[in-house]
Amino acid sequence: MTLLKVDDLKVHFPIRGGILNRKIDSIKAVDGVSFEIQPGETYGLVGESGSGKTTTGKAVMGLNKITGGEIYFKDELLNAGKKVNIRKDIQMIFQDPYSSLNPRKRVLDIIAEPLRNYEKLSKKEEKKKVQELLEKVGLSPESILKYPHEFSGGQRQRIGVARAIALKPKLIIMDEPVSALDVSVQAQVLNFMQDLQKELNLTYLFISHDLGVVKHMCDRIGIMYNGRYVEEGTKEEIFNDPQHIYTKRLVAAIPDINPQNRKENLEFREEVKNEFSNSFNNYFDEEGLAYQLKPVTDTHRVALPEKG
Amino acid sequence: MSNTLLEIKNLKTSFRIGEEYYAAVDNVSLNVNKNEVLAIVGESGSGKSALAFSVMGLHNRAKIEGEIVFKGRNIANLPSKQMNKFRGNELAMIFQDPLTALNPLMEIGRQIDEALILHNKNMPKKKRKEYIIDLLEKVEIPRPKHVYNQFPHELSGGMRQRVIIAIAIANQPELLIADEPTTALDVTIQAQILDLMRELKDDLGSGVILITHDLGVVAEMADRVAVMYAGEIVEIADVETLFENPQHPYTRSLLSSIPLVDDAQDKLHVIHGIVPSLKNLPRQGCRFSARIPWIDESAHEENPELHEISPGHFVRCTCYKHFYFPEENKEEQNHDTAQS
């Protein structure tokens, strides 16, 4: 059964102007995006800033108004504001652990907030539940009375995780969960997220621009450019056999850890860059938007130019 | 004349917390040559930015001890009036965040002009404008004449970072300090900015200090690498040696904690514990020892020093000889595949 199905999602933001502040134009942040996520998998959503990946995540979360299209969660249609009981099955972990936790609240109140919204627990039960959650994310249960500033970045991100898993969600949307962290802390959080996924049978929608991290974490990957999908496939297909010039460029841009390949990388990157600028008009329409996705294999879809 | 552009000798930069001074950069010695990229790597809190700011003389209230010799002259603790002759002229810096480093109320052209006018008082206005437009072209900004009159908010992040680079190179600096120049940028733009910096270095023959925590960027850019931990340099070597034959436990841990694109690891290495805060830095013995508790105490030196283990390759403390990862067997395989 498909856990999440996004069908032709459109999120447009109005641009207002003129004397009456009427809508004069719109920004098409997400323009016709479709994908499906199966239970238990980690799905990566990759793109540059402004490509619409975060907007897509927020739309699934119900934080953005949807202009068009449908989002199904376990075959039930999600529309903004409705189906509260389904909403608790979808949780989000935010990018910046320094600003996504209220600095004036104690850890207890931060983690208990979703519990207070959905479950009626006594003070004692609530405290016990929060302590269990803290243990699960590897923090000491005594820290319930501390404030966020007393924790390091990695620990704060764990508090965010504890809050997200409090209601036993099925799907967790992670928006650049490790981008603000140092490499060593990043490794810690990534390992921990993988363990947690196995333990609680979670499904992840992983939004990131870091292809190294995405490759490490994800089973399937969708690449976005300018509000549309340009390519979707398994990890192997995207990294070993990228078909769209934008994907090729993205993969080529990843810095190589081996200094001896430096010269080859430079030449290869130059080559791909030229290919990108030369064939840009073939791969994108007049407005710079990608074409419709066409299947290449069962799992691999690419926005190849329309022929003829 | 020697090839050395900048020589830092026993630099110690301390900040006051309460009544006492704590050293964020502790007894660091390095040198940068002409036409060389020296990368400084480390986690946040390792003192790499504090080091850069010390060289630029940008710390307001820090106590700076030791020598910073730039082209034969000690510039440590120079009054800012004298420092301004160097700063932005022979010595320039690229800041981390292109979104905050530019003045939002000033046109791009004027912001670059500021740097120019300060050091070239006699240059006529018209000539300066021509020069700035050339400069914008050099950093590959499309339609430079148009951008000259634009404000920062009208440009994308990558474009703004190029403007910052243009300001930094306006006076053709001999030493360029780049503090996390691409951290705030997307990968494709990062690749372009790095290419650009590389070209500029080759054109001007300047020395570059590249401060970053991204080891991929280091592998792509650097000639030599210094690894910093808790205010000290723990390892320094040329880039090939550092990536092929890392010795210090911290360097090895860092390298095995990054997810590699062309290598399948199931588990990333996690460095035990956290970076100590400035106040709680261990001031005695091997500063990294608390993060590798499974290594026997006797492996560490009492007063760890940098040892030259092969020409140009320095490692602090003797603990590297005895270091192994707790999950060694698996780790060793990973290590081998990473090297082959």
Closest chain A residue to B244, measured at CA: A258
* Helix (H) / strand (E) containing A8: strand A4-17
Could you tell me how far CA A1 lies from the centroid of its own chain? 21
C-alpha B212: how far from its chain's center?
5
Identity of residue A288: G
Q: CB distance B187–A152 less than 8 Å?
A: no
Residue among B219, B257, B338 whose CB faces A184 most closely: B257
> CB A113: neighbour CB atoms within 10 A?
13
For residues B233 and B183, state if they share a domain: no
Band the pLDDT of B38: cuts 50, 70, 90: very high
Which residues of chain B have a CB within 8 Å of the CB of A154?
Answer: 274
Q: How far is CA A259 from the centre of its chain?
A: 31
> Which pLDDT score, from 0 to 100, does residue A81 have?
56
Mean pLDDT (whole number) for A133-156 = 86
CB contact under 8 A, B188 and A258: no
B273 and B150 in a common domain: no
Instruction: Nearest by CB to B186, from A49, A152, A266: name it.
Output: A49
CATH topology of domain A4-89+167-302: Rossmann fold (3.40.50)
b or e along B255-293 (b: 16 or more beta carbons within 10 Å of the residue's beta carbon)?
Answer: bbbbbbbeeebebbbbbeebbeebeebeeebbbbbebbe
Residue B283 shares a structural domain with residue B204: no
Cα–Cα distance for residue pair B217/A40, rounded to 1 Å = 34
Q: Where does a domain end: B222, B244, B261?
A: B222
Name chain A contacts of B267, Cβ cutoff 8 Å. Answer: 191
Estimate the crossing angle of helix B108-119 against helix B157-169, to 10 degrees.
Answer: 10
Residue pLDDT, tens place only, B160-211: 888 998 999 898 899 999 998 887 777 888 888 888 888 888 888 889 999 9
Q: Which residues contact A195 (CB under 8 A, 6 or more apart)?
A: none
pLDDT in tens, B295-320: 888 888 888 889 999 999 999 998 99
Residues 6+ apart with CB under 8 A from A144: A106, A107, A108, A111, A127, A130, A131, A134
Domain match, B302 and B201 both: no
Amino acid letter, A186:
Q
Nearest CA in chain A to B196: A266
Contact B220 A255 (CB under 8 A): yes
Q: What is the CATH number of the domain that holds B192?
A: 3.40.50.300
For B217, which residue in chain A has the nearest alpha carbon?
A: A255
pLDDT at A283 over 70: yes
- Tokens standing for residue A175: 């928006």
Q: Strand A301-302 and strand B4-17: pairing?
A: unpaired
* Chain A hits for B189, Cβ within 8 Å: 48
- Residue A80's pLDDT is 55
In angstroms, rounded to a whole number, what is the distance separating the alpha carbons of residues B226 and B69? Answer: 18
Q: Is B298 exposed, middle or buried (0-12, 13-18, 19+ CB in 10 A)?
A: exposed
Q: How far apart are CA A192 and CA A290, in angstroms?
A: 36
Instruction: Give A301→chain B minimum CA distance, Å.
Output: 22
* Structural domains in chain B (count): 2
pLDDT in tens, A185-225: 888 888 888 998 999 899 999 999 888 889 899 999 999 99
Domain end call among B168, B189, B222: B222
Question: Taking 70 as the threshold, does the pLDDT of residue A282 lie above it?
Answer: yes
Same domain, B24 and B119: yes
Same domain, yes or no, for B115 and B250?
no
Domain span including residue B330: 229-339
Whether residues B50 and B199 share a domain: the answer is: yes
Instruction: Kindly state whether A253 is in contact with chain B, defined as any CB-CB distance less than 8 angstroms.
Output: yes
A28-85 tens-digit pLDDT: 889 999 999 999 999 999 988 778 898 999 888 888 888 889 899 888 887 655 556 7
On whether both B198 and B244 belong to a single domain, the answer is: no
**Contact present, B22 and B278 (Cβ < 8 Å):** yes
Of A286, A287, A289, A283, residue with least CA distance to A305: A283
Q: Which chain B residues have a beta carbon less than 8 Å from that of A188?
A: 270-271
Interval B265-277 mean pLDDT: 78
Q: How far apart are CA B24 and CA B11, in angstroms?
A: 10
What are the pLDDT digits (tens) for B69-110? 998 889 988 888 888 888 888 999 998 877 788 999 999 999
* Inter-chain touch B243–A184, beta carbons under 8 Å: no
Query: Measured between beta carbons, which residues in chain A are less than 8 angstroms from residue B261?
Result: 211-212, 215, 239, 254
A-chain residues within 8 Å CB-CB of B180? Answer: none
Interface probe, candidates B221, B270, B339, chain A, greatest A C-beta count within 10 A:
B270
CA–CA dist B179, A294 (Å, integer): 43
One domain for residues B265 and B166: no
Is 80 exceeded by the pLDDT of residue B273? no
Select from B173, B199, B222 the last residue of a domain.
Answer: B222
In A, minimum Cα distance to B251 occurs at A184
| Other beta carbons within 10 Å of A122 | 8
Contacts of B271 in chain A (CB under 8 A): 184, 187-188
pLDDT beyond 80 at B331: no
Q: Residues of chain B whose C-beta is under 8 A from some C-beta in A?
A: 43-44, 156-157, 186-191, 194-195, 213-217, 219-220, 222, 239-240, 243, 253-255, 257-261, 265, 267-271, 274-275, 338
Tell me, yes or no, whether B213 and B287 share the same domain.
Answer: no
Residue type, position A52, single letter: G
Q: Are residues B281 and B132 in the same domain?
A: no
B117-148 burial, b at 16+ Cβ within 10 Å, e below that, comes to eebeeeeeeeebbebbbebbebbbbeebeebb
Tokens of B213: 């925590």
Show Cβ contacts of residue A147 under 8 Å, excluding neighbours closer than 6 positions.
A103, A104, A105, A106, A107
Strand, coil or helix: B190: helix
Domain ranges of chain A: 4-89+167-302
pLDDT of residue A308: 43
Q: How far is the C-alpha of B259 from the C-alpha of A212, rounded, in Å?
A: 6
Separation of alpha carbons B104 and B177, rounded Å: 23
User: What is the pTM for the complete model shown?
Assistant: 0.83
Whether the Cβ atoms of residue B257 and residue A184 lie closer than 8 Å to each other = yes
Distances (CA, A) of A199 to A44, A93, A165, A174, B63: 20, 18, 12, 18, 51
